[in-house]
């Protein structure tokens, strides 16, 4: 049976999606994901992996599919070098479009899950990198290496994404990024319980020029952190100019990501958003962030 994708997906870019190869069970391989994006006539997507940089994979895909804007990046987790300026510099030189702050390795992530995911992907070994990463020291002073990373991001004019940092860290990081003249700041899944961003802070971040991820996974049975109607209302309040719609899908038990994004569009339209607002969040804003 052929999936019918929403027509508003034409020209869209999904900024937050997971696929295989991965140490996590994924619903689709990169190539299966790309086939769905082509069927939906999308412009492209950004591959994200918690455990590896995705630049190489994206480069290979673009070689086979030059008409698609498929890009990768680096998550600053322990598995990829942590908060390492050298690793970030390498990823950017290879073509990374997004540098994500720690996700699975973030102290906030580990607090949320009660430290049960601190071992390296269920390894029986107690490895040295099981402690949670934060962007600051015990005095809440941003680490020198984080400043270096922000400088690299600013120089390359790529996207800084906040990962699973705690809201207080996000606030401090954004101010530091602005001081370093980082122009593209993406606040990750602000409604997701892992590191939920309070509404007042969302509004403050918008005033500072940040783009906020409105993430379908937050509405899913996996989390149930926000009702779809409430998400649509938050977009109305914050403004579609300051938001992007993403799925964060790819988990093996969920529907395929492009199908999820199609459903997300339907749900937001049903909740009162307009075609123009949707297009702004899935076409215009992603292209601006990626420099297209």
Instruction: CATH number of the domain at 142, please.
Output: 3.20.20.140
The H or E element containing residue 16 is strand 13-17
- Per the domain annotation, does 2 fall within a domain? no
Give pLDDT tens digits for 149-191.
999 999 999 999 999 999 999 999 999 999 999 999 999 999 9
pLDDT higher at 113 or 263: 263
Q: Is residue 142 one of the residues assigned to a domain?
A: yes
For residue 17, what are the domain limits? 7-290
pTM of the model: 0.94
Between the CA atoms of 187, 214, 256 and 265, what dihedral angle is there, to the nearest 10 degrees?
-150
Q: Is residue 1 part of a domain?
A: no
- Within a domain: 12: yes
State how far the Cα of 278 lies from the Cα of 194, in Å rounded to an integer. Answer: 25
In a domain, residue 207? The reply is yes
- Number of separate domains in the chain: 1
Is residue 127 in some structural domain?
yes
Residue 288: is its pLDDT beyond 80?
Answer: yes
Distance CA(167)–CA(177), nearest Å, equals 15
């Amino acid at each position: 049976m052929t999936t019918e994708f929403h027509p508003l997906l034409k020209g869209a870019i999904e900024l937050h999606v997971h696929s295989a190869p991965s140490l996590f069970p994924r619903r689709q391989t990169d190539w299966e994901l790309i086939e769905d994006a082509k069927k939906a006539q999308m412009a492209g997507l950004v591959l994200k992996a918690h455990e590896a940089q995705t630049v190489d994979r994206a480069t290979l895909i673009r070689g086979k599919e030059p008409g698609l804007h498929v890009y990768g990046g680096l998550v600053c987790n322990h598995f990829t070098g942590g908060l390492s300026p050298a690793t970030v510099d390498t990823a950017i030189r290879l073509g990374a479009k997004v540098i994500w702050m720690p996700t699975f390795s973030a102290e906030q992530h580990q607090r949320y899950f009660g430290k049960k995911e601190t071992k390296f992907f269920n390894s029986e070994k107690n490895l040295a990198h099981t402690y949670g990463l934060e962007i600051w020291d015990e005095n809440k002073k941003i680490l020198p290496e984080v400043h270096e990373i922000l400088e690299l991001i600013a120089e390359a004019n790529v996207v800084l994404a906040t990962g699973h940092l705690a809201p207080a860290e996000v606030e401090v990081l954004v101010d530091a990024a602005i001081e370093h003249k980082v122009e593209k700041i993406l606040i990750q899944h602000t409604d997701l319980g892992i590191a939920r961003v309070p509404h007042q802070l969302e509004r403050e971040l918008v005033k500072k020029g940040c783009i906020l991820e409105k993430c379908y996974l937050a509405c899913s049975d996996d989390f149930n952190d926000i009702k779809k109607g409430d998400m649509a209302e938050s977009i109305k309040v914050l403004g579609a100019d300051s938001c992007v719609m993403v799925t964060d899908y790819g988990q093996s038990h969920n529907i395929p990501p492009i199908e999820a994004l199609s459903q997300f569009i339907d749900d937001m339209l049903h909740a009162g958003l307009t075609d123009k607002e949707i297009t702004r969040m899935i076409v215009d804003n992603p292209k601006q962030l990626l420099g297209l």
